[in-house]
């Protein structure tokens, strides 16, 4: 599937930037968003459209970016919702404002791009939406409550959306990576709650993740190669994909744990209907 038009959010670094470079190299057209258009200053390619979107939660700004892409390239075939950041902290430590900002970027930004691109995909009777969630959208982790909640929201949303869009020939793929060697654990991508409550040991958890920074086993180049291959192969049976050994093993353990619990309480809860 070459010579397609991609719209990618959060493309200034990490997965997004790697994906942009790979797609341009193979001749696809790419519109990419960043909070600062200067982050794309080094890209000199007529197939690239740089879009400055400082706040994906601002629907009007997102709408303008989508319209500019359609005006420039005539279509959007594939949307990749990649923008997001981590928020570390136990739930009691996280303020309402911190939680809402996390959801604005990770969840409502995703909603806004999809809402504004769907009319064009419906008109062209085709398209693919790729939502980058996380293994943290399938498995809960200590002191990642807000991030877990936002990524679970993306997974649940994607799982429902796929049913709505399938009759319209628009596919939805939710990708759930584990730790990859990107800048995700850097201070500008990973925030820590302002409040500290000693009982929750957030400082120790933060130190452990900080120690992992740029030592993650996942290769982001291979991850984006896999993503492109999934798109090209267009396997209609795949709508969720766990990326990397950490994610794959974590998902298997979570599924096994759920099955064990279902078996343990089946006699209590399986038959709760009226006789």
Q: Which residues are tagged catalytic? A: 12, 133, 147, 151
Cβ atoms of residues 147 and 213 within 8 Å: no
Q: Strand 170-177 vs strand 127-132: parallel, antiparallel, or unpaired? A: parallel
| Structure-token match 């302002």, residue found | 194
Structure tokens, 267: 């006699």
- CA gap 86, 9 in Å, rounded: 16
Instruction: DSSP for 22-34, please give it.
Output: HHHHTT-EEEEEE
Residue 67: name the closest of 120, 114, 28 by CA: 120
The closest of 139, 142, 145 to 253, measured between CA atoms, is 139
Q: Give the three-state DSSP class for 43.
A: coil
For the chain, helix (H) and strand (E) counts, in that order, are 8, 9
- To which residue do tokens 């928020």 refer? 87
Q: Which tokens is 101 given?
A: 């900002």
- DSSP state string for 165-213: HGGGTEEEEEEEE--BSSSTTSTTTEEE-S---GGG-HHHHHHHHHHHT
- Gap between the Cα atoms of 121 and 116, Å rounded: 10
Do 187 and 209 meet the contact criterion of CB atoms below 8 Å apart?
no
């Amino acid at each position: 599937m070459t010579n397609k038009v991609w719209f990618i959010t959060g493309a200034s670094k990490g997965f997004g930037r790697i994906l942009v470079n790979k797609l341009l190299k193979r001749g696809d057209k790419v519109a990419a968003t960043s909070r600062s258009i200067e982050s794309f200053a080094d890209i000199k390619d007529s197939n690239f459209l740089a879009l400055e979107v400082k706040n994906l939660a601002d629907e009007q700004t997102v709408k303008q970016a989508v319209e500019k892409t359609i005006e420039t390239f005539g279509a959007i075939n594939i949307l990749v919702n990649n923008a997001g950041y981590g928020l570390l902290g136990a739930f009691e430590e996280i303020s309402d404002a911190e939680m809402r900002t996390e959801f604005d970027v990770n969840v409502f930004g995703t909603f806004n791009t999809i809402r504004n691109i769907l009319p064009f995909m419906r008109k062209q009777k085709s398209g693919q939406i790729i939502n980058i969630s996380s293994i943290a959208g399938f498995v809960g982790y200590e002191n990642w409550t807000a991030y877990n909640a936002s990524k679970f929201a993306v997974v649940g949303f994607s799982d429902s959306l796929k049913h709505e869009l399938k009759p319209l020939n628009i596919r939805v793929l939710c990708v759930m990576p584990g730790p990859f060697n990107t800048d995700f654990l850097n201070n500008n991508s990973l925030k820590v709650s302002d409040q500290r409550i000693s009982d929750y040991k957030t400082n120790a958890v933060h130190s452990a993740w900080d120690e992992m920074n740029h030592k993650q086993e996942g290769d982001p180049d291979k991850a984006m190669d896999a993503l492109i291959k999934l798109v090209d192969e267009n396997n209609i049976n795949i709508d969720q994909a766990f990326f990397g050994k950490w994610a794959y093993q974590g998902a298997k353990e979570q599924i096994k744990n759920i099955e064990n619990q279902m078996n343990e309480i089946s006699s209590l809860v399986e038959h709760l209907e009226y006789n």
